[in-house]
Amino acid sequence: MISSMKPRTQEPDVRDSDEIDLFDLIDDIKAKWYWVIGTVIVAIVLALGYLLKASPVYETEVVYKSVMPADLLQLNQPRLKDILGNNIALSPEAAFQLVRTKAMAGSVIRSFYRELINSDNEQLKALIYNPDISEEQNYSLFAERLKYSDSKDSDLFLKLSFQLEDQVLSAEVLNRFSEYLLQRNREEVIHSVELTIDAQLDEWELKAEQMRTAYQADKQRRLLQLQEAVAIARTINQQKPLYSGERVLVSNAPPLYMMGAKALSAEVAELRARSEGNEDLYINGLPELLWKSDTLKSTQIKWDQVRFAEVDQPAIVPLRAVKPRKTLILALAIVAGGMAGILFALLAAAQQRRRYNQSL
């Protein structure tokens, strides 16, 4: 059995031809170094060509901050607060929030954009309007140029930035938008306050008319009752009251005619005499209501002394462009060119090796 066994042969340790050797790759790159250098140079040239051809984009910004309470004193007058409560009162935070909301409102931006398009500045229109696309697309591109950022701490401020290919026009457009925004907000607040005041005056006027109508109805009812009682008293020849105040039970009021024709006639005369003077004084609650109405009408709000937000920093002409980012583009070109060059070098080395193997 031992003789039947065959000796085992030792197979040589042959490396798989598909295995990648890192050092071989490095040697291939070194051998084909001109591919790497050439590709990097081409990438840099392309990047420089793009930078020379691309239009520079400039960015400017305007910063708003909240106002002091004194800037809103006209809206927070004690007299107005006593009459209207907090219907028109504004705190600095609330006033700043109004400006912030308007700055982000699409209707405000769209209205301002239409104003720019309808202007006579052809240079500006060429930058913000493209006749080859729709009006909605033009507006969308313009809105993308306008960006905002809010405060993250307790200090209230709003930063608006605008990008345009012309550095002078970028500052001019943003400052115009800033003025338009503040003026639009002022007009809407004035309109809202006037509507609130007018609505309150109309409400009080309607209430006063209702009080006058109710008073006149009560007065006429009382006159009819008195006239009827006078007729009864005269019929029974009752000129003086039949009772004294001490003998009148609260739960059993005597008929009016028992007061006597003389007293009843005097009351009738007094009620009729009221119409010759100011009957509003006899209506419960009406004098106070009329006083509030007259006070509100006479109170003036000096809108030129009211500010809702303060421009802390107006837009200025930028000194340098924010786009294209030259350093970043050149760095990316070098990296991309280097990676492409390494790939080309490895492919060239592999092609050379394949041809060599085929020639054997």
DSSP string, 139-157: HHHHHHHEEEEE-SSSS-E
- Predicted TM-score (pTM) of this structure: 0.71
Q: How confident is the model at residue 13 (pLDDT cuts 50, 70, 90)?
A: very low
* Cα(107)–Cα(117) distance, integer angstroms: 15
Q: How confident is the model at residue 114 (pLDDT cuts 50, 70, 90)?
A: very high
Multiple choice CATH, 30-201+305-350, 3.40.980.10, 2.40.50.140, 3.30.1890.10, 1.20.210.10: 3.30.1890.10
The yes-or-no verdict on residue 104 having pLDDT over 70 is: yes
Domain boundaries, the chain: 30-201+305-350, 203-298
Contact 17, 357 (CB under 8 A): no
* Cα(193)–Cα(75) distance, integer angstroms: 9
* Cα(349)–Cα(36) distance, integer angstroms: 12
- What does the DSSP 8-state code read for residue 215? H
Contact 14, 308 (CB under 8 A): no
Q: How confident is the model at residue 161 (pLDDT cuts 50, 70, 90)?
A: very high
Contact 270, 119 (CB under 8 A): no
Token pair in block for residue 115? 């104003």
* Per-residue confidence (pLDDT) for residue 349, from 0 to 100: 79
Tens digits of per-residue pLDDT, 203-237?
999 999 999 999 999 989 988 988 888 888 888 88
